[in-house]
Amino acid sequence: MMVLALSTAAVAYVSESLVHTFETVGETFGWSELFIGVIIVAIVGNAAEHASAIIMAYKNKMDIAVEIAIGSTLQIAMFVAPILVLISLFFPVQMPLVFTLPE
C-alpha cells in the first residue's frame, strides 16, 4: 500500500509539472491549450509505445512489434468508435455503428 501511495504521489507531481509547462510552451509557440492537450500530449503519451515497437522490429522480433501495433489500434477503436457514435446522437445526421466489409 505504501508503494502504491508513493507512486500515486509521484505521478501526481509529474502530471502537475507537465500541466504547468503547457502555459509556457503555449506562450512560446503561440499554441492554444486545446491544441497542446489534444495533439501534443497524445503524441508524447504514445511515444514510449511507438519506440518499443520500433526497437522490437529492429531486433527482428516482429511478432512483438505487430502485437504492440495491433494492441494500440484496438485500444483506439474500442474507445473512439463508440464515443463518436454517442456524440453523433446530438447532431442532425447520426453515425451508425455499422461497418462495411473492408472496415
Contacts of 53 (CB under 8 A, 6+ apart): 65, 68, 69
State the average pLDDT over residues 51-64: 92
Question: What are the residue boundaries of the structural domains of the chain, listed by start?
Answer: 46-103
pTM, 2 dp: 0.49
* CB-CB contact of 75 with 101 (8 Å): no
State the pLDDT confidence band at 75, using cuts at 50, 70 and 90: confident
pLDDT at 5: 94
State the pLDDT confidence band at 7, using cuts at 50, 70 and 90: very high
Which residue is associated with the grid cell 510552451? 25
Contacts of 54 (CB under 8 A, 6+ apart): 65
